[in-house]
Structure 1
Amino acid sequence: MPEEALPGWKGGSILKSPDIRDPLQPGQIICYDPSTGRHLATIRAHTKADVDFALARARRAQEKWAKTSFAERKVVLQSLLDFILEHQESICRVASRDTGKTMVDGSFGEILTTCERIRWTLAHGEDALKDDFRNPGLLMFYKSAKVTYRPMGVVAALVSWNYPFHNTFGPLITALFAGNGILIKASEQVAWSTTTYFANIAKSCLVACGHDPELVQFLVGFQDCGEAVVESGVDGITFIGSPQVGMKVARAASSLLTPCVLELGGKDVAIVNRDVDLEAIIPILMRGVFQNCGQNCIGIERIIVHEDVHDKLVTMVASRIAQLKQGPPLEAKNIDCGSMTMAGRTKALEELIEDAVAHGAEVVCGGKGFVHPEFPSGQFFAPTLITGLRSEMKIAQEEAFAPIMAIFKFSTLEQAVAIANSSIYSLGSSVFSRNQREGIYVMDRLRVGMSNLNDFGVNYLCQSLPFGGVGKSGYGRFGGPEGLRAVCHQKSITVDRWPMLIQTFLPPVLQYPMNNVGDAIVVTRDLANIIYAGWSSRFMAVCEIIKVLIIGGNEKERVE
């Protein structure tokens, strides 16, 4: 574990206006703790030359790795799981120092999710990638048909900063188990944790298990580095980030026809029906909104509440939100909400709030940036509750990625669905109702990639399920069998089922050059009738084919 994450560390100069870029050092990344402003390191940003070099090394290592067995790959993943379980606190402290998240948020988002990804892959990954035999159909009854899943080669993952450990190791676990090498381009926002600790975990694990550590390559840099990765010639791309950048990735990848999985923004909803137990669901809503200070792709950004329970819910959550404690998680005790990871977010969030108020919304609490009395350089935004929202407001359409509980009101289930589907984003969703029939009715009508009844985000802890959205929330899936297969080449194969007894044979009437095209047309037409028509038509077709093949039909070809 790096010194800066050790308990009691108070080193590092306090930056007055922290920013990852310094105009005087354009090729360097300024790494700092966003909850205190403490300088952590200055790291060289990788360039196109670094990307090309990394890809060449990964390709050499992958040639050997592709020949390993699933058993050998499972040893690597089990070793990684053992390490994570033994070093949970270290991983969370490093993630906390680099992002400002609390240790509990780290345990939820970094540890549990990664461990479950490994557990599922160990238990079910081999079944997902084994040869998949398919029914060849009556026409090809004498063939055996199957799909094989083979590694793409070297894939790339361009991942976001909100969960620096999990977002790095999730794609890595999938890629390695499928037999690939991988380039991981981590966000420049978390260059320190990636290069000083997380990269070393992955490489040390491979070495400990007797494999080439060059199989995984870690890169940190600015836009030019990401562009170089996309255009490098990797065999597949996973991108986790904003829709704006995701569209650029898709355009660049299209020039090489590189397949992409894009997991983009969200404006996830939680629909609260009139029959709910508020005491039971409010803790879930609070976690869904304020987990990681709202910096979650599937964080709850809109709560749509039935008018019968609206006022009571607002009163109950307001008292809880007012009690949330903010500060630097590694330097203050009993912190509920850490900091915003990215600099400069306060102004944009305040403008969203002000626009909503100008159009009739009400801020119940929060709504502004928070200056910590002991850590004025920390990047904090006050936990916020805002009500009276409508779908046309900016705050209802733009991804906030912040600790803001935004509440809408509805009177009918159809109205709730209309509000939910009014967003351009379509990632995840939650529906809370004790009437399961009504809950499923609503879920079936939501235009989203994922939905949970009476829960938040648990689809991601069910690693057997694919994860992803539709529309501006991206396309493709990671997680589950679909995620493993997404980093594989899928090959369709047929072989003779009984090679010594029957193989494909073309009768003379169908062989080139054809002596009588009219007879050939009759044979192919009747073959279709034998396979697909009713029993009487099948009998007539058999008789006609026998006549043509044995006696000769001498059918005339129609050319006019």
Structure 2
Amino acid sequence: MTTELIEALTGKDWGLLINGASQAAADNAWDKVYSPATGLAIAQVARATETDVDAAVQNAKAAFVQWAALPGAEREKIIRKATAYVRTQADQIGGLMALEQGKPFAQSRGEVTSSCDLMDYYAAEAVRVEGYVNSTEKSNLYSWVVYQPVGVCGLITPWNYPVSLLSWKLGPAMATGCTVVVKPTEVTPLSPLAFCKALIEGGIPAGVINVVMGDGVVGAALVTHRDVAKVAMTGSTHTGKKIMSAIASQLKKVSLELGGHCPAIVCADADLDLAAEIIVYKGFRNMGQSCSTVNRVYAHHSIHDVLIEKIVSKAQKFSIGDGVLEGDCDLGPMTTAETLQKVERHVADALTKGASLHTGGKKPNGEKYQNGHYYTPTVLSKVSPDMLMMQEETFGPVVPIDSFDSLEEAIDKANDSDFGLCAYLFTKDFATTMRVSQALEAGTVCVNNGAVNTAYAPYEGWKDSGFGVELSRKAIFEYLKTKHIKVGF
């Protein structure tokens, strides 16, 4: 990022986005947003009240009438025009993400453009919401099924991929004719707010997208609002269960993409260079702050030591820096002090209980790292099930490696978790691929690759990892109601 761009993006006041206009909160309250690289405030955003949430929902409700009535082909044109404009703002939106989230500018900018790609994918689905005709029991009866948009949707998004995970929800919601109120996390509100603002500037009608900022109190007001017909949220399992409990009496639609504790099984016949490359990429990218991160590795005892050497060698080559000033570095700081503290706690616990440290396990050396939430990519072996990192999602740049003797043992270890989001398998044998991929208790299984999130395939968490589907054509039905029409002549 250039100095000019940094200066242009910092020190601003960002209001709520309601009915296409920026405005202060009803009580004029503001929250500061901080840089994880320096610990300094970079901007402040309006903190919504319940009155502001209601105003956002009512404007979305009013806009729903016309937006839902548009032909799908017209919505597709409007969305594509808007995303084309957003791409021209990718430097600014990506810059805000690098400032507030910590990932390098090149990765932040790429998240913005890939989010536009996903929005376009769903725009194309706007014309493919198809019903069907039934055969009936009498010749004078006609029966058909149609799908209609649910209405106003409350979208609650996290800080690790603040724009990408918003697009997963915004794309199908808008394509089907829904209107939305977005509540980004208070940690990284700037880039999703700027993304939504750019969509409106690009032609999305006022009121179709509204954004309110604030903490869990604001989120609770949104999800329990009587005029919010559907809630979509990505975040922790704990928060997801609180949302389910809060809306149980309202019986509204809900989809939740929650935590993971993803295993990787590396078989004796695996391509070890490929396995190490993908494990390192999935384990450390975005500082390990991803629900689909490789959280634990199970390597066959015959290749265990060699695999560790390859993983350590790759981990030690990562460059770490301020993602704003060093936009092409591999890793930036962790986003929050709390996540850094959890990583330190998990590593200390593992070492106390007998784990071996091969690399990392500390903040990087150097004055420039002292004020930020930095941590070196860490590889551990001799881990055991009683260690915290083998039970909980670390959500940081740590790869613990255990061994196994038989496939049954590997499967049992991989499935020994309350989570079931993603799993990884490395083998050259087709029979092993079929056997293990069927046995793994996860919504997504990647064999010899790490591309867990693809627009064309459903992404569903099993067990405590989620409720409902995101991505793929199936996700649009999370934003639709089913109607059966039966007519006698």
TM-score of the pair, normalised by structure 1: 0.80
Most deviating of 356-365 and 89-98? 89-98
Partner of 2:286: helix, strand, or coil? helix
> Conserved in 1, the CA contact under 8 Å of 2:141 and 2:486?
yes
For structure 2, the residue ranges without an aligned partner over 5 or more in a row are 13-26
Indicate the residue corresponding to 1:468 in structure 2.
460
Q: CA deviation at 1:374?
A: 2.0
Change (3 A) 1:495 1:304: farther
Q: CA deviation at 1:317?
A: 1.2
Q: CA deviation at 1:254?
A: 0.8
> Conserved in 2, the CA contact under 8 Å of 1:346 and 1:369?
no
Indicate the residue corresponding to 1:483 in structure 2.
475
1:126 is aligned to 2:127: yes
Most deviating of 34-43 and 140-149? 140-149
Q: In the aligned structure 1, how far is the partner of 2:192 from the partner of 2:4?
A: 13
Change (3 A) 1:65 1:52: same
> Conserved in 1, the CA contact under 8 Å of 2:86 and 2:202?
no
Change (3 A) 1:105 1:412: farther
Q: What does 1:270-309 correspond to in 2, within 5 Å?
A: 270-309=264-303
Change (3 A) 1:474 1:333: closer
Q: What does 1:121-520 correspond to in 2, within 5 Å?
A: 121-127=122-128, 129-134=129-134, 136=135, 139=137, 143-195=141-193, 197-206=194-203, 211=205, 213-233=206-226, 234-332=228-326, 334-370=328-364, 372-456=366-450, 458-461=451-454, 463-495=455-487, 499=489
Q: CA deviation at 1:316?
A: 1.2
Q: CA deviation at 1:256?
A: 1.3
> Conserved in 2, the CA contact under 8 Å of 1:271 and 1:304?
yes
- The structure whose Rg is larger is 1
Q: In the aligned structure 2, how far is the partner of 1:103 from the partner of 1:42?
A: 21
Q: In the aligned structure 2, how far is the partner of 1:483 from the partner of 1:455?
A: 23
> Conserved in 2, the CA contact under 8 Å of 1:366 and 1:382?
yes
Q: CA deviation at 1:357?
A: 1.7
Q: CA deviation at 1:146?
A: 3.2
Q: What does 1:33-52 correspond to in 2, within 5 Å?
A: 33-52=35-54
Q: In the aligned structure 1, how far is the partner of 2:327 from the partner of 2:101?
A: 17
Q: In the aligned structure 2, how far is the partner of 1:412 from the partner of 1:231?
A: 49
Q: In the aligned structure 2, how far is the partner of 1:388 from the partner of 1:108?
A: 37
Change (3 A) 1:8 1:180: closer
RMSD, aligned CA: 2.5
Change (3 A) 1:231 1:372: farther
- CA displacement 1:311-370 (0-9 Å, x = unmatched): 001011112212222110121365111111122333222111121122221111112334
Partner of 1:494: helix, strand, or coil? strand
The residue identity in structure 2 corresponding to 1:29 is: D
Change (3 A) 1:427 1:143: farther
The residue identity in structure 1 corresponding to 2:165 is: N
Change (3 A) 1:490 1:387: same
TM-score of the pair, normalised by structure 2: 0.91
Q: In the aligned structure 1, how far is the partner of 2:223 from the partner of 2:54?
A: 11
Structure with a larger share of its residues in strand: 2
- CA displacement 1:119-166 (0-9 Å, x = unmatched): 432444422x111345x47x5677544321101111111111111112
The residue identity in structure 1 corresponding to 2:325 is: E
The residue identity in structure 1 corresponding to 2:386 is: E
Q: In the aligned structure 1, how far is the partner of 2:225 from the partner of 2:116?
A: 31
| Count of residues in Structure 1 that have an aligned counterpart in Structure 2 | 474
The residue identity in structure 2 corresponding to 1:173 is: G
The residue identity in structure 2 corresponding to 1:474 is: G
Q: What does 1:76-115 correspond to in 2, within 5 Å?
A: 76-106=78-108, 109-112=111-114, 114-115=115-116
Change (3 A) 1:50 1:431: same
Partner of 1:301: helix, strand, or coil? strand
The residue identity in structure 2 corresponding to 1:228 is: A
Change (3 A) 1:172 1:333: closer
Most deviating of 258-267 and 279-288? 279-288
The residue identity in structure 1 corresponding to 2:210 is: Q
Change (3 A) 1:71 1:431: same
The residue identity in structure 2 corresponding to 1:477 is: V
Q: In the aligned structure 2, how far is the partner of 1:140 from the partner of 1:159?
A: 49
> Conserved in 2, the CA contact under 8 Å of 1:5 and 1:94?
no
Q: What does 1:21-36 correspond to in 2, within 5 Å?
A: 27-36=29-38
Q: CA deviation at 1:201?
A: 0.8
Q: In the aligned structure 2, how far is the partner of 1:371 from the partner of 1:143?
A: 77
The residue identity in structure 2 corresponding to 1:158 is: I
Change (3 A) 1:140 1:266: farther
The residue identity in structure 1 corresponding to 2:108 is: G
Q: In the aligned structure 2, how far is the partner of 1:5 from the partner of 1:236?
A: 41
Indicate the residue corresponding to 1:512 in structure 2.
none
Q: In the aligned structure 1, how far is the partner of 2:246 from the partner of 2:160?
A: 24
Q: In the aligned structure 2, how far is the partner of 1:188 from the partner of 1:371?
A: 30
> Conserved in 2, the CA contact under 8 Å of 1:66 and 1:180?
yes
